[in-house]
Chain A
Amino acid sequence: MKYSQKVMDLYANPKNVGSLDEEDMDVGTSVVGAPSCGDVIKFQIRVDKDGKISDAKFKTFGCGAAIASSALMTDWVLGKTLDQAKEIKNQEVTEYLSLPPVKAHCSVLAEKAIAKAIENYMSKRKK
């Protein structure tokens, strides 16, 4: 598979790999994808008292595009409000990373990951 330099850099030196405490009320967590499909992303955000994302972590099982997409997504959501983070579209990820068409689904998965993590955070807050 031929990848852009951006994908290769994110794959080689991904920022924000790791985990946050799932039990923490300020943390939203999502796990999207399935091992049987070859891609799983675990995505976590910490939301500060101003409603901004102050920390984001990911772990990914998948190809280079999946790793790069999730790493990029953690980077992009930092400092954003939840509404702003929801605005990030998979096409932007695809374009920024110049993903080959067969790998576009990886960016879709990354978009789903942030959406689900926000949903998880919101549902904790409601309780």
Chain B
Amino acid sequence: MMEKPIYMDYQATTPCDRRVLEAMLPYFCEDFGNSGSTSHILGERAEEAVEKARTQVASLIKADRSEIIFTSGATESNNLAIQGGARFHREKGNRIITCAIEHKCVLETCYGLKKEGFDVVVLPVLRNGVVDVEMLEKSINDQTILVSLMAVNNEIGVIQPLDEISSICRRHGVLFHTDAAQAVGKIEVDASKADLMSISGHKIYGPKGVGALYVRKNPQVKLTPLFFGGGQEQRLRSGTLPVPLCVGLGTACEICEREMANESERLTEYKNYFMEKILGSLEEVYLNGDREFRIPGCLNFSFRGIEGEGIMLGMKDVCVSSGSACTSASLESSYVLEALSIDEDLAHSSLRIGLGRFTTFEEVDYVSSKIIEVVNRLRKMSPIWTKGG
């Protein structure tokens, strides 16, 4: 028997791995010290735990532990990188380049800076969801101080060409920040490609409320902090560190590093099975985002003739989403899908399926069959679906 509900929304969040939780527990009530209070044994233990976690995070992205700043999550990391980078380098120029399918926390941060007088360029993406790198090169002028482009998109799972973007930014001497919340722990990520990289805890089976920002040391990337106070985290992020959460993020990273290869192989099989079954059983279904350049655990389909929420309602025992978690309560169609220039009705008819560590083949088979059944049923009652069946 499958446990219900079936969770297939791993891009929105992931369950905390029990091993992660176990590692965190001692740091709530027993070793509860402040990692800054190293004058006594409890403070020392907390500091040791935090530094071990920092090393685990660094190791997963092939960075040095001194390059990891703990934050409250990817939203804060993105804010710190973009606002902090832009403000620190304001004297050098005012252009910031990002792209149309970035996470809201990147786009909104950039729009906020625009109000402060920064010149924000939003790059288009190609139909497959890959950022237009030619446009990137053309958009960099002598005023450009920062490029922020995500490693993997949260709605369509498309992997961006970080190598290419990185070398363009290097060639022009521009800071490169990447929001890698959906990439780290899923695919090999090499932090040295970027100057700044955002990481999230809860996307990789860690706890919610913790993330990290990689800040390159060589050469040292400088940022203006968002918070001021006790000067923790190399003065970049004041505030007492949430030791259990840091331990959780570290442990989550350590598990990913160990298990990523196997997990990725298994999820790729599941994804391919799911995709082929859906595309083979239904007419006029479109896979959103490039077929090849995508992470193993994410599929995004548009079904002609029916609306996304209607499909989800037909399978109440399955947790999927029709867009990102941030917009699933709103009625607007996905801005990410709109940026891919797909037909307007298809932008309303999308479903994102997120597979992850605890997904079973049985669930994959059940959910794919269920989708086919519901789509066929809804198409029979759709006024814009004119084909048979």
Q: Which residues of chain A have a CB within 8 Å of any CB of chain B?
A: 1, 3, 8, 11-12, 14, 17, 31, 35-42, 58-64, 66-67, 102
Contacts and interface: CB of A to CB of B under 8 A. Distances in A.
Contacts of B344: 35-36
Interface string B226-256: 0000000000000000000000000000000
14 contacts: A1-B313, A1-B329, A8-B313, A11-B313, A12-B314, A17-B381, A35-B345, A35-B348, A37-B348, A61-B384, A64-B310, A64-B313, A67-B310, A102-B329
Counting chain B CB atoms within 10 Å of each CB, the highest count among A11, A35, A36, A67 belongs to A35
A59 B307 contact: no
B382 interface: yes
A42 B345 contact: no
Given A38-B333, A38-B348, A1 B383 contact: no
A61 B313 contact: no
Nearest to B310: A63
Contacts of B306: 61
A42 B305 CA distance: 13
Interface of B: 305-307, 309-310, 313-314, 329-331, 333, 344-345, 348, 380-385
A62 B345 contact: no
A63 B306 CA distance: 9
A38 B383 contact: no
Contacts of A39: 307
Contacts of B331: 38, 102
A41 B307 CA distance: 12
B339 to A, nearest CB: 15
A1 B309 contact: yes
Contacts of A38: 307, 331, 333, 348
Output the residue of B314, B345, B381 with the most chain A CB within 10 A. Answer: B381
Contacts of B310: 11, 62-64, 66-67
Contact of B307 (A58, A62, A102): A62
